[in-house]
Amino acid sequence: MSRVRIVTDSASDLPQEIADELGIVVVPLKIRFGDDEFVDREELSVADFYRRMATSDVLPQTAAPPPGAFEAAFRSLAAEPDTSGIVCIDLSSALSATMQSAENAARAVEGVDVRVVDSRSITGGLGAMVIAAARAGAAGATVDDIVALVDDLSRRTRVYGTLDTLENLKKGGRIGNAQALLGTMLSIKPCVDLSSGSVEEAGRQRTRKKALAWLRDKVAADAPVESLTVIHGQCEDLPEFLDMLATVVDRSSISVNTLGAVIGTHGGPRVMGVCYQVRA
């Protein structure tokens, strides 16, 4: 049976086993530490990224995949006899040139319907859309059906995070409308809202514990929520945060994922975040 195939980028932080299970192709961004450049996930694991970031004198940077990387993915899928179309779902176009790269590649591929969709999201928010799209494709949904599904999920997706430092966001040029947070005291824990696809200031908490409580309260205010994922930058206080969340949602409904190198580059160490969809 023919089906629509799904492509995404490595900012989705999609576990490889899930990508393999659902036949999702993940096109990697590139990570740079000074003069050293790595292909995300292929040449630099998540664990290696955090080890390198902890010891590096320079902050990492990201680069969008070249159009050729997307074109190779599209052509490979188009060559498979059961492919009826391709939908490529990318991280927010407000944060990266990745979607533009995918669009350039799509124009170069003929003989198959390739659509590129702006998720207006990142990490677990993007990942949840990609998983839903892949399952819909496997169930027989058309390209138009899947584009409409992703558009709906994008409108309902919420992404909130608390950061230990704004240094990475500032130097990476992704500070967006959270610029005002730069003037706060070092002891303040900044909270950001990426639900629109760009970085927005969402609050300032005086302690880490209060910042985590703020995240919990965001989930509680929207409960019941769908596809709740906690994403973290190797946070030692993850168990405590999960205990906090368990007071407002069923613990078994929470997925946990380590923040990958792409978003970890801009968020810095010890990022804690929640990604979920509000009910329609």
Residues of the chain with pLDDT under 50: 172, 175, 183, 185
116-142 pLDDT, tens per residue? 999 999 999 999 999 999 999 999 999
231-258 pLDDT, tens per residue? 999 999 999 999 999 999 999 999 999 9
Torsion of CA 277, 220, 46, 32, to 10 degrees: 80
Q: What is the Cα–Cα distance from 100 to 92, expressed in whole angstroms?
A: 11
Q: pTM of the predicted model, to two decimals?
A: 0.91
Tally the C-alpha atoms within 13 A of residue 56's C-alpha that lie toward its C-beta. 19
Residue 166 near residue 258 (C-beta atoms within 8 A) = no
pLDDT at position 20 is 97
If you count them, how many residues does the chain have?
280
Q: What is the Cα–Cα distance from 84 to 89, expressed in whole angstroms?
A: 17
pLDDT at position 1 is 79
145-155 pLDDT, tens per residue? 999 999 999 99
Q: What is the Cα–Cα distance from 185 to 70, expressed in whole angstroms?
A: 43
pLDDT at position 268 is 79
pLDDT at position 57 is 84
Tokens of 19: 């990508």
Residue 183 near residue 166 (C-beta atoms within 8 A) = no
Give Cβ neighbours of residue 22 (< 8 Å, ≥ 6 apart): 6, 131, 134, 135, 138
Kindly report the CA angle at 66 between 42 and 76, in degrees rounded to 5?
Answer: 70
Per-position b or e across 110-130, b if 16+ CB within 10 A of its CB = eebbbbbbbbbbbbbbbbbbb
pLDDT at position 185 is 47
